[in-house]
Amino acid sequence: MRKAFLSAAGALLLGLVGAAQAAEGPALPHEKWSFDGVFGTYDRAALQRGFQVYQEVCSACHGLDHLYYRDLSALGYSPEQIAAIASQKQVKDGPNDEGEMYDRPHTLTPNAGRGTRSR
Ligand code: HEC
């Protein structure tokens, strides 16, 4: 029963893909990506180049409000590298003993999770 359902679903999918290709005109050339297939993986160097482009170009206009510094571990950065990236940003802190607010480099919260402890 399950097998029959799966092959019916597969046939339906193939049919849909075929129909879509016929409607869209010329077929696109097939590219080989490192993330192709079930066992595909992302190319870390490419991910980190993408983040560099984001930092140098896109971040002028696009923010990352919904991400945490610890999320950078998904791009293959070590906790030390993440702390170094975070420290490039200044944050407001204080008040100090004179009652003044002041700027200091961003640090990571200890035990913030997923191995991004600052040391
Ligand atoms: C000078 C400011 C600026 C820079 C730099 C910039 N963007 Fe944008 N981006 C915008 C604006 C403004 C829009 C919205 C355009 C619109 O809605 O018509 C936009 C829209 C987008 C969209 C479409 C979002 C959607 O909802 O369809 C994507 C994707 C995007 N930008 C990616 C990037 C990437 C990737 C970079 C860096 C390579 C980048 N942007 C750099 C200003 C910028």
- CATH of residue 49: 1.10.760.10
> Are the C-beta atoms of residues 52 and 85 closer than 8 Å to each other?
no
Instruction: Report if residue 64 sits inside a domain.
Output: yes
Evaluate whether residue 30 is within a structural domain.
Answer: no
103 Cα: distance to centroid of ligand 1 (angstroms):
30
SS3 of 82, please?
helix
Residue among 103, 114, 36 nearest 69 (CA): 114
Cβ within 8 Å of residue 27, ≥6 positions away = 21
H-helix segments, the chain: 2-24, 44-56, 79-86
Instruction: Read off the pLDDT of residues 44-96 as tens digits, 9 standing for 90 and up.
Output: 999 999 999 999 999 999 999 999 999 999 999 999 999 999 999 999 999 99
Closest CA to ligand 1's atom 31 = 62
**70 within some domain:** yes
* Residue 56 located in a structural domain: yes
Number of domains comprising the chain: 1
Average pLDDT, the chain: 82
pTM for this model (two decimals):
0.68
* Residue 63 structural domain: 40-119
In a domain, 2, yes or no: no
**Ligand 1 center to residue 31 CA distance, Å?**
26
Is position 105 within any domain?
yes
Instruction: Report which protein residue has its CA nearest ligand 1's atom 20.
Output: 62
7 within domain boundaries:
no
Report the SS3 class of residue 63: coil
**Residues contacting ligand 1 via CB (< 6 Å):** 53, 57-58, 60-62
Question: Looking at residue 24, what is its pLDDT?
Answer: 77
* CA 67 from centroid of its chain's CA atoms: 9
